[in-house]
Structure 1
Amino acid sequence: MDKTAVKNYAIWARTKLIEDIKYKASLLGITEKVIADALPQSTTQEQYFDIGTREPYAIRGVHIAQRRSLAEAIKKKAQESDYLTAYNSIIEEVAYTWFNRFIAVRFMEVNDYLPCKIRVLSAVDGRQEPDIVQNPFDAKLDYTSAEEELISQHQMNNEGDKLFNMLFVKVCNDLSKVLPQLFEVEQDYTELLLNISYTDQDGLIYKLVHDIPEDNFDVNAVDEEGKSVGQVEIIGWLYQYYNTELNDTVYDGSYAKKKLSKEWIPAATTIYTPDWVVKYMVENSLGRLWCEGHPESTLLKENWKYYLDEAQQEEAVQAELAKIKEEYAKLRPEDIKVIDPCMGSGHILVYAFDVLMQIYTQVGYTDKDLYWRTIYMVWI
């Protein structure tokens, strides 16, 4: 994985996102100083805002409700601190939300995990225009008649970026059915503040697709020697690098004698765990739990690079350990449950799942059995 490219993009993307979102908010009369009222000529169907140009900025329909929702969110948060802190907090929240979604969609499209079954940020053949923009009706999405009309209108007017924005939001809302926490649709003002482009070579999407090698997202990628270079952990590294500047601010001494507000907690605690550390932890916890009670599981240990055999102990300690192993010997795979109290991106749980599947296989479960067992474990 090209960690330099990943880090450079994540740090730059945070700044770029915040700048773009602040600009979009300013068009709506919302700045770090004030939430301005709409101009007098506004109506219930159309609102206008003074942006210092001859023509005011106009919003219509659902965007009016979204703008109202944004203003209310800032005002409510300001009751906990002050207006500027609340404004910056909401902007940061929206930026982080969209960053998460860009990365998730990029990971899913490279690995063909998207339910819509078409690339959203890029094209399979390397074209600059994403596949979904080129062929929006090939996507497995339920368009309303109004959306179909709007798509056709954008196509006729050569409004590629407007179509791209619309389709990206549509995909995110569709993903909310399967990943509701990441693609929740409750805070609708996040959509209002989105302004992305696939044509801008200095934009977030272009750089995500072109600055970070696609292989870094591909879990099946191999190098010339056949060695796997796929990186399921790239999402975790992107999250950590995104918070680099915030983390530096927390630990540079500025807050040494101050109590951190809750908004700073993620920046202070987001530390990604490298893959080898994950494997060491899981193999010597879950793996040890099983192997100490089932010493016949030698093949499992041979596949675990970071498993450490028990060190020589005094007789008294060995006697106590023998009692523990007797209890472990009674364990069945179905009795084991795993919890990660600091889940983060979840890659510790992903490897724990792999180890569990190895244990199930070792006791005789077939692939068919494992399929249904997996469904059951995910369900509960």
Structure 2
Amino acid sequence: METSKLKKFAQHARRSLIEQVSNKLKLVLAQDSAARRENPKAVAEIEKRIFGVSGKYTDNCTLTTDDSRRQAQLVERVAYIWFNRFCALRFMDVNRYTRIGVVSPAEGQFQPEILAEAKMGHIDEGMVDESARQRIFTLLDGKTPSQDPQAEAYRLLVVAICNYWHGSMPFMFERIADYTELLMPDDLLSGKSILAYTREAMTPDVCEDVEVIGWLYQFYISEKKNEVFEGLKKNKKITPENIPAATQLFTPHWIVRYLVENSLGRLWMLNRSDSRLVEQMDYYIKPPIDDKSGPESDFLRISSPEEIKICDPACGSGHMLTYAFDLLYAIYEEEGYEAAEIPSMILKNNLFGVEIDERAGELAAFALTMKARAKQRRFFRKQVLPNICVLENIQFGEGELKEYMNFIGRDLFTAPLQTTLRQFEEADNFGSLIRPDITDVEETVRVLESRDVSGKLFLKATHDKVLQALRQADYLSPKYHVVIANPPYMGGKGMNGRLKVFLQEYYLNYKSDLFSAFVVRCSELGTERSDIGIMSPNVWMYIASHERLRTFLTEDCALYSLVELPLTGFKGATVQICAYNFSNKRSPNLKGGYIRLVDFKGADEEMSDLTKKAIADSNCGWFYRASVKDFWKIPGRPIAYWVSSELREAFQHFPRFSEY
């Protein structure tokens, strides 16, 4: 996918929307504004978010530093909400998932199709309620005074459509009846409006694949990412709210395929050796057949596709999960499942994502929904929501849990349960690295959901927080057969104080970089013999601070595939990258396949081609077959830092990889 045009659009859209929302905010908060007369509750909500519970805006008020920060956060949030919605609506328009073009004109027209139809007296009763329909018609008929009746009518149509899609996709289209609507950009119809630029960038060609949404998000936050990195140069640590911008990195599609095909694909092929799934997996490295012991026999047993649970604990906008959807669909088809039921079954049973960034989590859920809709045209009617968990901070006030436990019954609240309820106080900082103490999450949730607290107002709020904490803990329980991730990369220099202390306490041997701790955590999230796929910097193979991770991957676990790229191999990263798969069960004699591309030049397309060539031709010169215990004997591994100092002398005579 050509992304330069998308990048230019997303960066322009962010700046433009922030400016428009900021200007709209000033108008809304003015003392004599129409918004104060017509929507006093929404204005009060804005003031509360900026000034706190008791604050109120006046024309001559001076914002404190905290007020300014909260105002900037509010503007940023609203700007992105509308960017998200406009892009989602455009994607659905292009793919004809909407009944009528909401942000797109009909062929040969200039105005959005839904507005053109409304001007002719046609508004879908199923999508726009009667009250809104009447307001729109009176505006367009000139019966309601307005400076720009078409613009006002169109705004009402957009709000109505967003509310309509709330039923199918509440994660993307929150019901609009508050300040979000008040702060909607005014210019939506001109040739220089945000929608005009959206249509220009999101052409039918780029909307053929839902990954366009992920690219747009990465580009949307790219300028904020640059700001965070500039702050690092001045020794400013990365705060929890800036972790997503600092660590968000869209995974190239070929690497996604490599990781998923050598984890999910491998798991299925080991269980169904005669499966034709292999025919569509260009990056799958087939396990070699040992002349003495025959095919690989020590693997996780799966009896049906419904059993398979796949997790991406740092899912971003869902790129790993959407390709896993494609492979799973082929698996279900091969097993003879009814085509109309497969998309729902995949979303219900198989795919799970965890994320700390609310925006990215929304996009992951949207991407999976679009995948399902592409396969089943009536999917929206099924009301099936993807299993995407955006981790929230959950805090309990002093004495709050004590009163709740007394009401529910103290016997249920074991020490591990009480600890778990406190573990999500900084979920936005620690994310999936949190290890819940409780092990019987599902049973505890079932018991608590059966308790009636509806008549206890204050206990109800505590009850909801307890259930939310437990549901988050359930996502972070070790139950997955496949775990795949492009985890966040962050060295100690960028970590905020609390994150550094957390790693020191819980990931002592892997504290030098966030990705290192995530590798271990991904392994823990899997059941025994599960398959893990990771994309990360390649430094763990070379430097002393990652010696324990090297031991973990090649001795405690079984690193059975790896492709190592040159610095140019992934233009989105500023470090050298590698992608690798391992089993979380020790298997030193397991035969693996390893690809070394560090002496080649090129970007995604060249690396993809070289990888496929290596997999197809093991004699190509940059593909190595070796048992896991002999991974470090592969030519080109550095002499300076081996798995342990005792092995250095043994390995120092191996030739360095230089002739390729």
Q: TM-score range by the shorter chain?
A: 0.7 to 0.9
| RMSD over aligned Cα atoms | 3.0
The equivalent of 2:461 in structure 1 is none
Per mean C-alpha deviation after superposition, the further-off stretch among 264-273 and 370-379 is 370-379
- Residues 1:120 and 2:102 aligned together: yes
The equivalent of 1:44 in structure 2 is none
- Residues 1:351 and 2:323 aligned together: yes
- Residues 1:75 and 2:51 aligned together: yes
The equivalent of 1:170 in structure 2 is 160
Distance in 2 (alpha carbons) for counterparts of 1:112 and 1:78: 47
Q: For residue 20 of structure 1, give the secondary structure of its aligned residue in structure 2.
A: helix
- Residues 1:261 and 2:243 aligned together: no
Shift in alpha-carbon separation, 1:233–1:68, aligned structure 2, 3 A: same
Deviation at 1:371, TM superposition (A): 6.5
Distance in 1 (alpha carbons) for counterparts of 2:317 and 2:10: 16
Letter in 1 for 2:26: S
The equivalent of 2:469 in structure 1 is none
Q: Is the Cα contact below 8 Å between 2:140 and 2:150 reproduced in 1?
A: yes
Q: Which residue of 308, 324, 332 corresponds with 2:285? A: 308
Shift in alpha-carbon separation, 1:144–1:61, aligned structure 2, 3 A: farther
Q: Is the Cα contact below 8 Å between 1:236 and 1:272 reproduced in 2?
A: yes
Q: Is the Cα contact below 8 Å between 1:109 and 1:120 reproduced in 2?
A: yes
Q: Which has the larger radius of gyration?
A: 2
- Residues 1:7 and 2:11 aligned together: no
Deviation at 1:354, TM superposition (A): 1.8
- Residues 1:156 and 2:156 aligned together: no
- Residues 1:107 and 2:91 aligned together: yes
Deviation at 1:145, TM superposition (A): 4.1
Q: Which residue of 178, 185, 188 corresponds with 1:188? A: 178
- Residues 1:363 and 2:353 aligned together: no
Distance in 1 (alpha carbons) for counterparts of 2:233 and 2:124: 49
Q: Which residue of 295, 303, 313 corresponds with 1:331? A: 303
Per mean C-alpha deviation after superposition, the further-off stretch among 232-241 and 65-74 is 65-74
Letter in 2 for 1:248: N
Deviation at 1:347, TM superposition (A): 3.0
Q: For residue 11 of structure 1, give the secondary structure of its aligned residue in structure 2.
A: helix
Letter in 2 for 1:301: V
Shift in alpha-carbon separation, 1:146–1:332, aligned structure 2, 3 A: closer
- Residues 1:244 and 2:228 aligned together: no
The equivalent of 2:34 in structure 1 is 58
Deviation at 1:178, TM superposition (A): 1.0
Letter in 2 for 1:344: G
Shift in alpha-carbon separation, 1:144–1:186, aligned structure 2, 3 A: closer
| CA distances 1:246-271 after superposition (whole Å, capped 9, x unpaired) | 01111235466223233212211221
Distance in 1 (alpha carbons) for counterparts of 2:21 and 2:309: 42
Distance in 2 (alpha carbons) for counterparts of 1:210 and 1:94: 22
Distance in 2 (alpha carbons) for counterparts of 1:323 and 1:78: 67
| CA distances 1:276-313 after superposition (whole Å, capped 9, x unpaired) | 2221111111111111232222x211211111123688
| CA distances 1:133-183 after superposition (whole Å, capped 9, x unpaired) | 011334354544432332122212362111111111111111111111211
Q: For residue 285 of structure 1, give the secondary structure of its aligned residue in structure 2.
A: helix
The equivalent of 2:192 in structure 1 is 202
Q: For residue 72 of structure 2, give the secondary structure of its aligned residue in structure 1.
A: helix
The equivalent of 1:226 in structure 2 is none
The equivalent of 1:28 in structure 2 is 28
Q: For residue 34 of structure 2, give the secondary structure of its aligned residue in structure 1.
A: strand
Shift in alpha-carbon separation, 1:372–1:266, aligned structure 2, 3 A: closer
Q: What are the ranges of 5 or more consecutive residues in structure 2 without an aligned counterpart? A: 56-63, 143-147, 350-383, 388-660
Q: For residue 273 of structure 1, give the secondary structure of its aligned residue in structure 2.
A: coil
Deviation at 1:350, TM superposition (A): 2.0
Distance in 2 (alpha carbons) for counterparts of 1:172 and 1:349: 25
Deviation at 1:331, TM superposition (A): 3.3
Distance in 2 (alpha carbons) for counterparts of 1:160 and 1:187: 21
Distance in 1 (alpha carbons) for counterparts of 2:340 and 2:206: 31
Distance in 2 (alpha carbons) for counterparts of 1:68 and 1:13: 28
Q: Is the Cα contact below 8 Å between 1:78 and 1:85 reproduced in 2?
A: no
Q: Is the Cα contact below 8 Å between 2:106 and 2:113 reproduced in 1?
A: yes
Q: Is the Cα contact below 8 Å between 1:340 and 1:349 reproduced in 2?
A: yes
- Residues 1:273 and 2:251 aligned together: yes
Letter in 2 for 1:269: T
- Residues 1:235 and 2:219 aligned together: no
Q: Is the Cα contact below 8 Å between 1:18 and 1:91 reproduced in 2?
A: yes
Letter in 2 for 1:10: A
Q: For residue 339 of structure 1, give the secondary structure of its aligned residue in structure 2.
A: strand
Shift in alpha-carbon separation, 1:180–1:77, aligned structure 2, 3 A: farther
Letter in 2 for 1:251: F
Identity %: 33
Distance in 2 (alpha carbons) for counterparts of 1:313 and 1:252: 53
The equivalent of 1:135 in structure 2 is 117
Letter in 1 for 2:264: L
- Which protein is richer in strand relative to its size? 2
Shift in alpha-carbon separation, 1:260–1:253, aligned structure 2, 3 A: closer
Q: Which residue of 75, 89, 92 corresponds with 2:73? A: 89
- Residues 1:147 and 2:132 aligned together: yes
User: Relative contact order (C-alpha < 8 Å, sep 6+): which is higher?
Assistant: 1
Q: Is the Cα contact below 8 Å between 1:118 and 1:138 reproduced in 2?
A: no
Shift in alpha-carbon separation, 1:64–1:248, aligned structure 2, 3 A: same
Q: Is the Cα contact below 8 Å between 1:121 and 1:130 reproduced in 2?
A: yes
Q: Is the Cα contact below 8 Å between 1:21 and 1:194 reproduced in 2?
A: yes
Q: Is the Cα contact below 8 Å between 2:21 and 2:79 reproduced in 1?
A: yes
Per mean C-alpha deviation after superposition, the further-off stretch among 349-358 and 370-379 is 370-379
Shift in alpha-carbon separation, 1:139–1:361, aligned structure 2, 3 A: same
Deviation at 1:95, TM superposition (A): 0.8
The equivalent of 2:203 in structure 1 is 213
Q: Is the Cα contact below 8 Å between 1:282 and 1:352 reproduced in 2?
A: yes
Deviation at 1:5, TM superposition (A): 1.3
Deviation at 1:374, TM superposition (A): 5.1
- The aligned length equals 336
Shift in alpha-carbon separation, 1:78–1:11, aligned structure 2, 3 A: farther
Deviation at 1:101, TM superposition (A): 0.6
